[in-house]
Amino acid sequence: MSNQSNALKAEVLEHASSREEWWSLPRTLYSEPSVYEAELEAIWRSGWLFVGHSCEVLAPGDFFTYEVGPDSLIFVRGDEGTLRGFHNVCRHRGTRLCREASGSVTELQCPYHGWTYRRDGVLSACKGMGGNVTPGETQLQSVHVEELGGLVFASLADSPPEFAPAAELIAPQLAPQGLERAKVAKAVTYDVPVNWKLIWENNRECYHCNQNHPQYILANFDHYNSDDTSEELHAALQAAQLRHDQALRSAGIEVSHGETGMALFPDPETGRWYSADRTTLVEGYLTESMDGALVSTLMGAYTEPDVGTLRVRTMPNCWMHASCDHAVSTSFAPIDKDHTRIIVRWLVAGDAVEGEDYELEKVMPFWELTSVQDWELCREVQRGVLSSGYRPGPLSRTKEYCLNAFLSWYCGALKDWAGESK
């Protein structure tokens, strides 16, 4: 290991170790380029990333691209049905192969010099090279890919963490949603001028919800916590959960988070990067829509609408809320230290017809409003944490326990990576 690498790890270890439990992050963890460089290695290139949905690449040749920091990836459905992932980089002189976000290809051809690759990544043509190129040595650089209940994950690591435990937990929860048979009704990309951690910090607490998400709090119980849950509210939650349990029993599924407040995630002790639970909606809400009324046909195996919401979260870049009639996934990745690209996708049943079974004007507003409200809040936090007047602040133990867990998980990941320098 070079002295330069050791110096970087020692610097990052010092920054990560300076954070106190139940306090927000020190300014250096948002502002230092060395920290961002370390995050790419310790977090974004070491674990599993949610990159898209299986239904976006159903037919042979279908592809989509994914960007994380300086890395561009492409995911292509092969002729035999296998989904493969590659670095979106020509093996000749490094040109990006695909500039489009998605589409369909018979082959992958570099727009610079015409080097051509099959859909399995093997070089098939390189006119002008005089026969001094060996296809097997110049095939596209691959990345690990896993499909799970209609979700696509990829890892840039040479030896990624075992994926099976995540599949064992999430697959049964996802099964009735039928995401592998869904379609993306709409996707919106947001380029937000904030450090990526602020997106998670905002998501991991609902302390801000009463003041900033008027539509969200009408449908959900998680903005209440142990310090403000009354007996009346607790009775309403129990009644709603009983209704859901009765509706779900015939389908063999159940509410798995039946309390006020957010389900704890992530778990910094075990390092577990995935979670899934089904939560109860407020009386009168069958789905997460503006008025609680259905906005599309039932998805997957659901035969009754009163099934609450399925919530799936995977570190470091995804959360999803799935109701009986539609699902909304939010994924993101850093563009650089101070910018994050976020993609919000609205999914409905694959056979649902726009204008007949659903209208985007009814499907989108609940999460479109919530998302935009959050991005604006994050912009203001970004301005604050980079200020010379910023100092770490104390966290609420009743309302920000998930935020504390995220910050502990994050600092732990950096320390584990930097600890190699010892």
pLDDT tens, position by position, 206-253: 999 999 999 999 999 887 777 777 788 778 778 877 777 777 777 677
What's the one-letter identity of residue 266?
P
Of 203, 154, 220, 177, nearest to 347 by C-alpha is 177
Of 62, 69, 64, nearest to 52 by C-alpha is 64
Please check the confidence at residue 66 and state whether its pLDDT lies above 50.
yes
Domain 59-161 belongs to what topology?
Rieske Iron-sulfur Protein (2.102.10)
- H/E segment holding residue 104: strand 102-104
pLDDT (0 to 100) of residue 44: 98
pLDDT in tens, 371-381: 999 999 999 99
Please check the confidence at residue 417 and state whether its pLDDT lies above 60.
yes
Count of CB atoms situated within 10 Å of the CB of 44: 19
pLDDT (0 to 100) of residue 146: 98
Domain coordinates in residue numbering, the chain? 59-161, 176-416
CA distance 287 to 282: 10
pLDDT (0 to 100) of residue 174: 95
pLDDT in tens, 77-130: 999 999 999 999 999 999 999 999 999 999 999 999 999 999 999 999 998 888
pTM, entire model: 0.94
Domain 176-416 has CATH 1.10.10.10: no
Helices 3-17 and 401-418: crossing angle in degrees, nearest 10, is: 160
Q: What letter would DSSP give residue 225?
A: -
Interacting residues of 157 by C-beta distance below 8 A, sequence separation 6+: 45, 46, 47, 144
pLDDT (0 to 100) of residue 2: 65
Q: Is 340 helix (H, G, I), strand (E, B) or coil?
A: strand
pLDDT (0 to 100) of residue 421: 39
pLDDT in tens, 296-351: 999 999 998 988 999 999 999 999 999 999 999 999 999 999 999 999 999 999 99
Of 375, 351, 333, nearest to 48 by C-alpha is 333
Count of CB atoms situated within 10 Å of the CB of 269: 10
